[in-house]
Structure 1
Amino acid sequence: MTLLTSSLMASALALALAGGVPVPASATDAPELVTATLDQASDLAALPRQQVALKRPPLVHDHDQVASGGPKVVQFTLPIVEQEITIDGEGTKMHAMTFGGSIPGPMMVVHEGDYVEVTLVNLAGNSMPHNIDFHSATGAMGGGDLTVVQPGEQVTLRWKATRPGTFVYHCAPGGPMTPWHVVSGMHGTVMVLPRDGLKDGDGKPLRYDRAFYIGETEFYIPRDADGGFKSYGSHAESLPETLAAMRGLAPSHVVFNGAVGALTGGNALRSKVGETVLFVHSQANRDTRPHLIGGHGDHVWEEGKFNNAPLRDLETWFIRGGSAGAALYTFRQPGMYAYVNHNLIEAVLLGAAAHIMVEGDAWDHDLMTTPSPVGAIAADTDLALPSSD
């Protein structure tokens, strides 16, 4: 039995204890899932290494849009933080589980052909095991089978970025723990850029002046007998009633970046007229429909895969549950824009909305104007359309 297979067996046991998979009766009953040993991995000693400092969403760490030189090993450290957070203006609290202390977890950017090396740190003060499943990776349940860590442990996973695009990552400890960890905040995105950068459908280069990462999450906060949201003393205490609420498939909140209003008002995103912004939008669990009120999707990779030509001039685009998409827009007018999930019930009543404040010196009246001011009309004015009869 190889060292790597032994690691997989230990991971399978941890998953089984969380309700995910049956435990083998003995070591000899476990399948030989991996036959290569660790020392047969690619020798990457000659490749340059880059240690990246992640940023809290909606910001994205500094990165080149076009790769310089050949592949490299890009290193990230991702701590797991369990913490109580406030998710709305009413003071509703929940016990969150997070990558990096934010919901969503930070976005990681690399280029096709790079090796991604992530050190996952389960802080000693946490209460439960975690792991990470990269939709952008190949093998071992996206890394989930190799990254199960108990509180006070860490593990490093390396995988090759073979497909350009935007991809979700999330915790996947098995059984009902997987959706619970995801809707408690444990999800994020990796963006794998083509080495020569983004292109339109004709192969012409596309660039952006700034990038924003918007991670959409739905929360399921149980209610008490009077209809108020309940609070709990710990993650474990909240679990039974939270699972019951989740089974109803009716979220209490649908939010961008961890809370109602996290990206509105004083927390609004900021840009300028003439700037091109890349919006990366993820939803690890449910479908969503991003829409920029007052703007459009100039170029949209709705499925998030940069090998495919982008769609043009979209009013609303569709992000499938368990995926991330990307859209470019060049702002043409100053003022406030709303970026929403265009299920407007979820945007207005449940919280899935953001604001973008766009600076500019002049309004373009050719694009929009009011030829006459608002004025009163006569009470007997009849402007009804004629019937079709």
Structure 2
Amino acid sequence: MPTTRRTVLQGIGVGGAASLAGCSADSAPQTNRRRTEKATSKQQQKTVERVAADPTDIPDPISRTEPKEVEVTLRPEEVTGEIEDGVTFTYMTYNGQVPGPFIRVRKGDTVNLTFENPEENAMPHNVDFHAVAGPGGGAEATMTAPGETAHLKFKATYPGAYIYHCAVPNMDMHISAGMFGIILVEPEEGLPEVDHEFYFGQHEIYTDKRAGEEGHHEFSMGSMPREDPTYVLLNGEKYGITPDNRGSPTVQTGDTARVYFVTGGPNLTSSFHPIGNVWEKLWPEGSLTTEPQTHIQTKQVAPGSTTVATMNFPVPGASKLVDHSLSRVMRKGCLAVIEAEGAERPDIFDPDPDT
């Protein structure tokens, strides 16, 4: 029998769109959970050197004044990579990175999405855009088995920074394993000019071993409902975006930066904080048409939401981006760094005033 979205849904025990969107009590029955775990443990994904998204890999701000059609391709890729040295994990990603690609459009644009589920995958996947005004955010329309391709067209009718994520019945597992990202819908008037833009995503991973225990970690379907993660990560790897790991983005003192931040979850709310800095202007929930909050030290960002915030860098040194639930930083890996370079400013910060 040829594989269709309908047969995929039937094969994984989904009764309809409500189940697909995670709204049905039986959307992830225990038999399907066991089937998912078995498939994950048996599959032979390609091994990749890096899954951590480059926080500087963001499309340029939009300068045009008219809407257009924008082509976007997403590929759900199941890959094996390192969470930290010596610890491997089977990630589920969009286009091989965590978080998925930063998608940038303008209000009024039409997005032509191609969703390609590679043959080498073991599982069905899809995508739910919170920027889509339509059933399931496009989840049912993009539901694909390995080897299938789906197409979706939607108009970006409201501005803001929105999460997109996988929305199959075991969506909590798929999101935890890395399937989430941001789509930015710029307002028609555009965004204020800044010197830099950065992109970070937080999620938690549940495994069958302790953090730091060497070897391959399987996904733990037992610890996830208890919300007891092994790792809490920024951009998919423990301390991934730091000088001693993948490197940190650098700025010059006096520069301004805009940070786009998404909490994939699936369960934990982030208390997003820049150590040694504040969010100069902050748009909660990614709502870009509201007046920003100013000089915010810590902002809660719930799973399935975003925030957009700006930073200034008056003195040189590291601004450490963390979840201020600090055990997640010290024990579970939730830290990234932006490094400012430039002349010292002892009138603002003097670490040794007696010399």
Shift in CA distance, 115/87, structure 1 to aligned 2, threshold 3 Å = same
Alignment correspondent of 2:140: 145
Match of 1:183 in 2: 176
Q: Aligned equivalents of 1:180 and 1:20: distance in 2? A: 16
The alpha carbon displacement at 1:19 in A equals 4.0
Change beyond 3 A, Cα 1:296–1:69: same
Residue matched to 1:85:
81
Q: What is aligned with 2:236? A: 258
CA shift for structure 1 position 155: 1.4
CA distance 1:170–1:370, change in 2 (3 Å)? closer
Question: 1:54-69 residue pairs with structure 2 within 5 A?
Answer: 56-65=53-62, 67-69=63-65
- What letter matches 1:356 in structure 2? I
1:86-105 equivalent positions in 2, closer than 5 A: 86-89=82-85, 91-105=86-100
Report the AA paired with residue 17 of structure 1: G
1: CA distance, partners of 2:351 / 2:135: 59
Counterparts of 2:225 and 2:305, CA distance in 1: 22
**Partner of residue 43, structure 2:** none
User: Which structure has the highest strand share of the two?
Assistant: 2
2:200–2:262 CA contact under 8 A, matched in 1: yes
User: What pairs with 1:261-280 in structure 2 (closer than 5 Å)?
Assistant: 261-266=239-244, 267-280=247-260
**Relative to structure 1, is the Cα distance of residues 86 and 142 closer, same or farther in structure 2, using a 3 angstrom cutoff?**
same
Selected match of 1:330 from 312, 321, 345? 312
For 2:352 and 2:16, the matched residues in 1 are separated by 70
Q: Deviations over 1:234-276 (max 9, x none)?
A: xxxx46xx21121221100001111102101241121111221
- Residue 365 of structure 1 is matched in structure 2 by 346
Residue 21 of structure 1: how far off its partner (Å): 3.0
- The gaps in structure 1 that reach 5 residues or longer are 1-9, 24-54, 199-205, 233-237, 375-389
Read off the aligned partner of 1:367 and give its amino acid letter. Answer: I
The amino acid that maps onto 2:209 is: R
Displacement of 1:370 in angstroms is: 4.5
1:163 aligned counterpart, secondary structure: coil
- 1 or 2 for the larger relative contact order (CA 8 Å, sep ≥6)? 2
Does the CA-based 8 Å contact 2:159-2:185 persist in structure 1? yes
Of 193, 200, 208 in structure 2, the residue corresponding to residue 222 of structure 1 is 208
Cα distance, 1:339–1:351 mapped onto 2, change above 3 Å:
same
- Does structure 2 conserve the Cα–Cα contact (< 8 Å) formed by 1:16 and 1:22? no
Counterpart position of 1:15: 9
1:315 aligns with 2:297: yes
| 1:241-252 matched pairs, under 5 angstroms | 242-252=220-230
Instruction: Give CA-to-partner distance per residue, 1:16-69, whole Å, 9 cap, x none.
Output: 53344369xxxxxxxxxxxxxxxxxxxxxxxxxxxxxxx94312333234x413
1:295 has 2:292 as partner: no
Contact 2:8–2:144 at 8 Å: present in 1 too?
no
User: Residues 201-220 of structure 1: matches in 2 within 5 Å?
Assistant: 206-220=192-206
Following superposition, the deviation at residue 11 of structure 1 comes to 3.9
Distance 2:320 2:153 in 1: 38
In the alignment, what sits opposite 1:32?
Answer: none
- Equivalent position of 2:331 in the other structure: 349
Structure 1 length-normalised TM: 0.76
Q: What is the CA–CA distance in structure 1 between the aligned matches of 2:165 and 2:352, rounded to whole Å?
A: 51
Cα gap change, 1:163 to 1:57, in 2 (>3 Å): farther
Contact kept in structure 1, 2:257 and 2:311, CA below 8 Å? yes
Q: Deviations over 1:222-245 (max 9, x none)?
A: 138xx957736xxxxx46xx2112
Gaps of 5+ in 2: 18-51
Q: Partners of 1:78 and 1:255 in 2: how far apart?
A: 22
2:188 is aligned to 195
Percent identical pairs in the alignment equals 30
Aligned residues: 314
Deviations 1:88-121 (A, max 9, x none): 23x2221111001001111101111111222111
What pairs up with 1:370-385 in 2 under 5 angstroms?
370=351, 372-373=353-354
Structure 1 residues 60 and 372: CA distance shift in structure 2, 3 A: closer
Are 1:218 and 1:252, in contact at CA under 8 Å, matched by a contact in 2? yes
Paired residue for 1:70? 66
Deviation string 1:271-326 (CA, Å, 9 cap, x unpaired) is 11122111111112231011111111111012111111110011111211111111
Question: What is the SS of the residue equivalent to 1:188?
Answer: strand
Matched-pair contact (CA < 8 Å) for 1:20–1:173:
no
Question: Looking at CA atoms only, which structure, 1 or 2, has the larger radius of gyration?
Answer: 1
